[in-house]
Amino acid sequence: MNVFSRGIRGAIRSPIRAGAIVIMLAISIGLIIAMLAAKAGVETKINQVKETAATGITVRPAGIMGFMGGGDPLTSEQVATVSKTTHVSSTVSTLTDQLGTDDTNLTASLELGSFGQRIQRFESSEGSGSTMMAPPVDIEGSSDDARPAPTPRTTVTGTTNSNSVATDGGDLNITSGSDIDGNSSNYEALVGSNLAEKNSLKVGSTFTVYSQTFTVKGIFNTENQFQDSGMIIPLATLQKLTEQEGAVTSLVVTADSSDNVATVVSSLKSALGNKVDITSEQERAEDSVASLASISNLATSGVVGATIASGVIVLLTMTMIVRERRREIGVIKAIGGTNVKVITQFITEALTLTIIGGALGMAIGIAVSGSITQGLVDAQSNSSSQQSGPMRMAGGGGGAEPRLMQFGGAAQRGLEAITSTITPATIATGAGLTLLIAVIGSAVPAWAIARIRPAEVLRGGE
């Protein structure tokens, strides 16, 4: 019988003890696999955030925020300048407008409270588009001058990409129908769920805006009352209907790399001067990455801790076995067994126990990796929500402008979207750590075996 066979048989010589050791190793190695899977998922998400959220830049006309301010919209020439800027990979242009009762046959679904009445105390003159100062309105309902109270309006967003209105920073949730072509000049619209319900609209229904007939292409839901009370149409269509050819009230720019955001911002400020306000989402993305990195660091700590715990289990087990079998070791040496052969036998025992425990541990780790990852995410989400206040809306301006920045919710979305990732690299790393555990656990016992002298053991010495 060779040393390997003796080692395997020695590992299962005491079934109860071997079973207990295997269970402990399985739990520890299972934790290692689960933490490695969580870390892999986090690293994937960090790369996604760096490629998306960290590259976002918003360009707005100076002096305009939502429907407030007194500046001029961006022109087609300015938009072209931005698009041609080095390291700019894409742009999303948006123009917003409000529809009164003379502009559409739809009934507004958003009711005016005291805030809305105050904001809309500037009334249009017979729907001509010009504004004048109206007499002060008593918020409670009375007014010194007899004039109609402000009426709810419907917000219409013209954009080259309908996802710019999504409030969760992802793709717009179209509950029925299909998306519009934002780069066309078609008379088609995506209608918010509240507005659709108020006017009994469904896919294929028609309505009028500025005397033009529109067809409902789809209905969306953002779970945001303001957004769901509006509609989305192609940018060029709104520019034409409102006689604002080339006008843009917000431009979302995506840099080709997070490393080039500062360069793009500097280039845009140089090219456009003080005619625009430019903000970068890089800082917010860095906060998102920091939250994700915290989970990655915690997972790494878990891997290190579980590896050390497994190594200690094997170390103590093999030390105890060597002490119990000193006489056996002495006899083997006395009849010609070398230190190398004896050490190999006991390392084989350690490997046998560790490999069995590792196989079970991998199965356990794969099974519980999702739950452990979600636990880490929930813990970090709670920590993040306690340490930071509500995120500001990218639109601002009293909530009148759609939330154009798809990157504002990067931190929260980044955490929510993390899933454990079991890859060949994860399995290979787990297997490598399993072998490392066996080697570490066998090191001290091997040293103890080498020091055993047959003559002393056989005559009962220590």
Which of 7-16, 64-73, 434-443 is predicted with the least confidence, judged by mean pLDDT? Answer: 64-73
pTM above 0.85, yes or no: no
pLDDT score for 298: 84
* Per-residue model confidence as pLDDT tens digits over 216-233: 999 999 988 888 999 999
More confident residue, 84 or 144: 84
237 pLDDT more than 90: yes
Q: Poorest-confidence range of 53-62, 66-75, 313-322? A: 66-75
Lowest-confidence region among 102-116, 125-139, 368-382, 426-440: 125-139
Mean pLDDT of the region 396-412: 42
pLDDT at 415: 52
Residue 357 and residue 275: Cα distance in Å, rounded?
67
Q: Where are the domains of the chain?
A: 3-50+288-458, 74-121+135-248
Average pLDDT value for residue range 53-82 = 81
User: What's the pLDDT score for residue 385?
Assistant: 52
Cα dihedral sign for 226, 397, 155, 234? negative
pLDDT at 214: 97
Helix (H) or strand (E) holding 92: strand 88-99
Type and span of the H or E element at 65: strand 64-65
Range with top average pLDDT, 216-230, 269-283, 317-331, 379-393 = 216-230
Q: What is d(CA 191, CA 202) in angstroms, rounded to the nearest whole number?
A: 9
Of 69-83, 111-125, 333-347, 398-412, give the range with the top mean pLDDT. Answer: 69-83
Q: Which residue has the tokens 């300048």?
A: 81
**What is the residue whose two structure tokens read 């659709």?**
196
Closest CA to 190 of 255, 237, 257, 134: 237
Is the confidence at residue 186, as pLDDT, over 90? yes
Q: What is the DSSP letter of 262?
A: H
pLDDT at 386: 53
pLDDT (0 to 100) of residue 286: 67
pLDDT at 43: 81
pLDDT > 70: what percent of the chain?
Answer: 76
SS3 content of the chain, % helix, strand, coil (to 5): 55, 15, 30
One-letter identity of residue 208: T
- Of residues 7 and 105, more confidence is placed in 105
Q: What is the mean pLDDT of residues 439-445?
A: 75
Whether the predicted pLDDT of 176 surpasses 90? yes
pLDDT at 348: 84
What confidence tier does 147 reach under pLDDT thresholds 50, 70, 90?
low
pLDDT in tens, 298-356: 888 888 888 888 888 888 887 887 777 777 777 777 777 777 887 888 788 888 888 88
| Lookup: tokens for 193 | 């769920």
Q: What is the structure's pLDDT at 2?
A: 75
pLDDT of residue 139: 45
pLDDT at 462 over 80: no
CB–CB of 406/252 below 8 Å?
yes
Q: State the Cα–Cα distance between residues 119 and 97, nearest whole angstrom.
A: 15
Helix, strand, or coil here: 285?
helix
Q: What is the pLDDT of residue 129?
A: 41
Output the pLDDT for position 395.
37
What is the Cα–Cα distance from 162 to 190, expressed in whole angstroms? 8
Q: What tokens were used for 267? A: 């280039």
- Distance between CA atoms of 360 and 353, rounded to whole angstroms? 11
Dihedral of alpha carbons 116, 122, 125, 129, sign = negative
For residue 136, pLDDT beyond 50:
no
Q: Reply yes or no on whether the pLDDT at 32 is more than 80.
A: yes
Q: What local confidence, expressed as pLDDT, does residue 285 receive?
A: 65
